[in-house]
Amino acid sequence: MNKKRLTILIILSICIFLSSIMMQLAISAECTILNTNFYDSFVQKHNLCNIPQNFVLLTIKNNTRGLDDNTYQSIIKATSSTFSQDWTQDQVSGIITNLLAYLKNTSDELDLRIDFREQKSQFLAQMLQVLPQSAEDNILNNMLITNMAEHLSKSAGIPDYLDLRYTSLIKDSGIFTYIDTVRIYYPYSKYLPFLLFAFFFLSTLFIFHLSDTLKNTGYALAASGLVTLMFVSYISGVLDNSITAQLSSYDELLAITGNNPKILAAIFKNSILTVTNRIAIIYCLTGMILFIAGSFIAKIKGTSRRISQHG
């Protein structure tokens, strides 16, 4: 092989190497931060569907201090009935849908609000059912119970919305920077890495023999997988430092999520990087297979050539 062809082969191999890294990151993103099932699994595994209900309970607790135990327990019963698991799951699913729509540029607004308005109206009806009733069933007692339920419903201080964009876990963690980065590069990362890889692979195949193409593509894939593994190891440490520096164990956030926010953020990060590592390993193995296949084809061709020459 002359120097010109060798130079072309090296350039194409480097291009395949770079496009392979881009492909791995794109596939990882599609399997994690751009995948509804990834969020659903994470939310279910760490009981994050309880966030709306826990937030309401915390708000009520902070605004109704000094109530007698029976009244407080009645409020808790009304809250559990009004802000049910089915309702909270619907709210969380809606947030995930809105987040993905924003990341994929199908929506220009990042709407992470949980709507409490309809449930607030139902909360009063539930209060009437669970408050201690008087033994005498008359108009005056019913009016007193109704007034008490209305007073407790107002004093509970439940807002119309809970906007997760302004919670400590999101606001102080710097996650908006990563969200905006994904949003900017998503249109390019969806198809471009795969088109580039196909173009450079076919160009190599057009100029060189199949065996050379497979061997050099195998080199590039295996090398890209190893580089991705090293990159994941490095970025994991950087993100851990960022989480420690920017996120504190806020008592309010602990009450809302039921988890330490630092641990929760670290688990989320590790879930993404674990998927990326698996993809990188697959690329390494695929590269090794292609290199072996290319070497085997080259060996067969060499043997056939020698036989034909002797013949």
The DSSP code sequence of 277-302 is HHHHHHHHHHHHHHHHHHHHHHHHHH
Contact 49, 92 (CB under 8 A): yes
Q: Specify the pLDDT at position 303.
A: 80
pLDDT of residue 28: 94
Residues in Cβ contact with 218 at an 8 Å cutoff, skipping those fewer than 6 apart: 286, 287, 288, 289, 290, 291, 292, 293, 294
What global pTM score does this model have? Answer: 0.79
- 66-89, pLDDT tens digit by residue? 667 777 777 777 777 787 778 888
Q: State how far the alpha carbon of 157 is from the alpha carbons of 61, 65, 161, in Å.
A: 10, 12, 11
Backbone angles phi, psi at 256, to 5 degrees: -75, -45
Q: What is the pLDDT of residue 232?
A: 95
The residues that bridge with 161 in the sheet, in sequence order, are: 115
For residue 235, give the H/E element and its range. Answer: helix 210-246
**What pairing do the DSSP bridges indicate for beta strands 161-163 and 113-115?**
antiparallel
Pull the structure tokens for residue 43: 């939310």
> Low-confidence residues of the chain, pLDDT below 50?
none
- Cα(first)–Cα(last) distance of the chain, in Å? 26
**Tell me, what's the pLDDT at 239?**
85
Interacting residues of 4 by C-beta distance below 8 A, sequence separation 6+? none
Give percent above pLDDT 70 in the chain: 82
What pLDDT, on the 0 to 100 scale, is given for residue 39? Answer: 87
**What residues form DSSP beta bridges with 113?**
163
Closest CA to 255 of 55, 46, 47: 55
pLDDT at 281: 97
Helix (H) or strand (E) holding 147, with range, is: helix 139-155
Query: CA angle, corner 257, sides to 256 and 258, nearest 5?
Result: 100
* CA–CA distance, 111 with 105 (Å, rounded to integer): 13
The single-letter DSSP state of residue 173 is: T
